[in-house]
Amino acid sequence: MALIDLARRELQVKIVYYGPARSGKTTNVVYLYKTMNKQVTGKMVTIDTKGDRTLFFDFLPVNVGKIKGLGIRIQLYTVPGQVMYAATRRLVLRGVDGVVFVADSLRVQRQRNIESLKDLTENLNSYAIDIRTIPLVFQYNKRDLAKAGVPILSVDEMEEDLNSTLKVPAFEASAVLGKGVFETLREITKRTIRVVANKLVK
């Protein structure tokens, strides 16, 4: 749920990076933090990690301009993908306005992607949000691994598994190389702000 901070004349919008363990959610946000102008982003906050496993969440605020005199501040969050952190994932989703589902292109992760999407659907339902109507984009990450000779899923297979009924935009990416990271953010931001702005008018 977007919040208006009147004192700061700011609209705060929450976008959550969701997906199975190790799909590259944190890597996306770290890349954004490293490459974006520091006047645009606030400090990245990482709450609790072990190696490259997020145990609670990452947080990065990004200012993306103004609408009708209101500054728009996008708050990016990542969830911990590991199965055992189900309760934390649900908590991080509270008040979400838009979702990036980061799927792992590794063929061995095929079932994990599907399970994580189901988990997302259920957690959104617990907040009375329908996955078919919330702003959502897919990111098919780790496409670079094809060159390393590692078996990866084709985009068609991932579309069939995850996006055959939702039919939302999907981006191929390599978050470690920074490919597709901004494109993904741009699209989810555009979609989310459109929906939030519509609600404000009503």
Ligand X SMILES: Nc1nc2c(ncn2[C@@H]2O[C@H](COP(=O)(O)OP(=O)(O)OP(=O)(O)O)[C@@H](O)[C@H]2O)c(=O)[nH]1
Smaller CB separation from ligand X, 174 or 189: 174
Look up tokens 């590794």; give the residue.
106
161 binds, among ligand X, Mg ion, none (CB under 5 to 8 A by kind): none
Which does residue 135 touch among Mg ion, ligand X, none (CB within 5 to 8 A, set by kind)?
Answer: none
Q: State which residue has the least CB distance to ligand X.
A: 81
Name every residue whose Cβ is closer than 8 Å to that of residue 20 and which is 6 or more positions away in sequence: 81, 103, 104, 109, 112, 113, 115, 116
What's the Cα-to-Cα distance from 88 to each of 80, 139, 181, rounded to whole Å?
Answer: 7, 22, 24
Q: Which two tokens stand for residue 191?
A: 């979609």
Q: Please tell me the number of Cα atoms within 13 Å of 115 on its side-chain side.
A: 10
Token representation of residue 98: 């838009």
Shortest Å, Cβ 153 to ligand X: 14
Rule CB under 6 A: which residues touch ligand X? 19, 21-27, 52-54, 78, 80-82, 141-142, 144-145, 174-176
Of ligand X, Mg ion, none, which one sits near residue 174, judging by CB under 5 to 8 A according to partner kind? Answer: ligand X
Among residues 54 and 192, whose Cβ is nearest to Mg ion? Answer: 54
Q: Which stretch binds Mg ion (CB under 5 A): 36-44, 52-60, 119-127, 188-196?
A: 52-60
Binding flags for Mg ion, 25-44, as an x/- string (CB under 5 A): xx------------------
The set of residues, in sequence order, having a beta carbon less than 8 Å from that of 79 and lying 6+ positions away, is: 16, 17, 18, 19, 25, 54, 57, 85, 88, 89, 92, 93
Which chain residues interact with Mg ion by CB under 5 A? 25-26, 54
